[in-house]
Chain A
Amino acid sequence: MTPLIETRNLNVRFGGVHATRDVNFTLAEAELRCVIGPNGAGKSTFFKLLTGQVKPTSGQILFRGRDISRMKPHEPGRLGIGIKTQVPSLFNGLSVWENVWLSARRTNSAVRANQITGETLERVGMAAHRKTLAGLLSHGMRQWVEIGVVIASDPPLILLDEPAAGMSDSEVARTAELILEINRKHALVVVEHDMNFIRMIAKTVTVLHQGAVIKEDTPDRIMSDPLIQQIYLGKKPQ
């Protein structure tokens, strides 16, 4: 069966920096994968490659078998790749409703977009704040609104870059539940540092280090792996 997304020997260089090295990554339809790695591992660059914000130096990105590695910046979104960025990226001067509506409206009629927007805001728990300007929301709420923006367009693939960053324990738990609920229908790739959060949502974790995939395994095995401990903590394997 054709994977939802597949990268083949993906490389990107910024001058002398080799940010992504021969990344081979495969994700099936409706799969949930967590990606971890220390700062500078290339996680965000990997997301930027998948969403067309950065063009690969070499290699391929296949979305349902179609090469999307040279697409224009708006085309991956059109195909159905949604992303929640590390720093919430919203339209601060527009209301919560308008933020989600713009996402729903791209592929739906105005009436249907209104309906989807209402349902999405209920789903992410932001219905009470629909008239509030996005720029006035707290960090956690901005994260939820951005998740709402992403799911409103019903993309088959959702990329979440640190969705639980800066959240309290209760907010983290709520976000994990929300992600699992979204995963019933959508495939997700989640970049996160919080291993407890990863345990709550993921069956498989991919570890990136210095731009390369160094391991793919279950969260428990990843966490007990001496190499991963060394990478994260600078501890030498026993």
Chain B
Amino acid sequence: MNRFAQSWMSAALVLAIGVALMFGLPGVMDDYTLLQGTIYAVMALLGVSLGFIWGFGGILCFGQAAFFGIGSYTYAIAVVNMGDSTVPFMLAIAVPALFAAILGYVIFFGRLSDVYMGVITLTVTLILFNLINSTAGPEWKIGVAPLGGFNGIPGIPTLNYPGKVDQALSPLELFYLTMACLLITYLGLRCLISSKIGRVIIAAKENEQRVLLLGYDARLYKLFSFTLGGAIAGLAGCLFANWGAFTSPTIFGLAQSAQIIIWVIVGGLGTLVGPMVGCIAIQWLTTQIGTQQIFNSNLVLGGILVVFVLLVPRGVIPSLGIALEWLWTRLMPRESSSSPQTVTAPPIAPSRVPDTAPATMVVVATDEEQAA
């Protein structure tokens, strides 16, 4: 990561752009386009959840869609049962976080390798997909909320003002809330990354053995980041259920899981903005390709992704950052560099180099002489 990306200036810039979009877009967009903006922000939040645990925690989770789906279903079931959306909103964050914590505990404290991490998270997602898909009958319900099987749950009540069931959020208010959630999550994660906890999480990704030798329990830090990622994905799932007033098992699907990984790769691993940009770009591209009839949209999208991964392997945002830094160093006068080649001795170092040969060499010479 370059210095600008790590600086608070970049965070301020991202927040400024985010706030400008949050308050600017409703003025220039019709209701339909604003709904599109809301779903982009929801998916960007989902992208950030994986971008954080993978890019900073080094945990490649193939099942981020599981937490997204659990968040979505938790909200739907809870709000149908309770009416008021305040507690369901909190449950939609807490339940996926708890699920991630249990799953993460098994993985990290069971000392399973990275390969098993991918296999387990993917398997859990597919199990949930099949489980929810098979709940189509009227007997499958929690409280008064039918699970709906492959048909999903339609007509989910939208979020309302806390304690005021009859005052549901309008599409514009939902857009504001979604954008606020996205920006607060971004800011919170930036603060976390700069804190002791965040640095240990990054350090554990870099060198887990050294983290252990320093006395930090790397498993706890990994579990924390994984749980936090699950909570953020759950929040995105809740907002998704609000956006369309509908949820279905397809959000647990393989396609959804793969898509999140692609967003992060395209946007750039190791940044928080990257997954947002990657998500919005891919989502927009998918929509645009879907409007034409000449080429198969999946084929075009696949081709673009392959070309992209080959030509811009770092992703959009890191590549952009490198280009800007290069430009910056060209335009600005250079600081006095601290090249690794210029060795500075410890201050207590002696000025004299010992002139005696290493003792081991003396022994070798004696031995050779004797042999001769």
- Using CB atoms and an 8 Å cutoff, list the residues of chain A in contact with chain B: 51, 53, 72-79, 82-83, 85, 89-94, 98, 101-103, 105-106, 110, 122-129, 131-132, 136-138, 140-141, 144, 149, 153, 169-171, 173-174, 177-178, 181, 193-200, 223, 229, 232-233, 235
Contacts and interface: CB of A to CB of B under 8 A. Distances in A.
Given A102-B203, A138-B341, A138-B343, A229 B363 contact: yes
A77 B203 contact: no
Given A78-B215, A138-B340, A232-B363, A178 B349 contact: yes
B354 A74 contact: no
Interface of B: 196, 199-200, 202-203, 206-207, 209-218, 338, 340-350, 352-354, 356-360, 363-364, 367
A233 B364 CA distance: 8
A177 to B, nearest CB: 5
A196 B359 CA distance: 5
Main secondary structure on A side of the interface with B: helix
Contact of A102 (B200, B209, B342, B344): B200
Nearest to B213: A77
A89 B363 contact: no
Nearest to B341: A138
Contact of B359 (A76, A137, A141, A223): A223
Contacts of B345: 125, 170, 174
Nearest to B360: A195
B215 A106 contact: yes
A132 B213 CA distance: 22
Nearest to A195: B359
B340 A196 contact: no
A131 B338 contact: yes
B215 A123 contact: no
Nearest to A127: B344
A196 B348 contact: no
A145 B221 CA distance: 24
A89 B338 contact: no
Given A106-B216, A141-B340, A195-B360, A92 B346 contact: no
Given A91-B206, A92-B206, A178-B348, A199 B359 contact: yes
A136 B347 contact: no
Given A77-B215, A129-B340, 19 more contacts: A72-B217, A89-B207, A89-B209, A89-B213, A93-B202, A94-B206, A102-B200, A125-B345, A125-B347, A125-B349, A128-B342, A129-B338, A153-B215, A170-B345, A171-B343, A173-B352, A196-B359, A229-B363, A233-B367
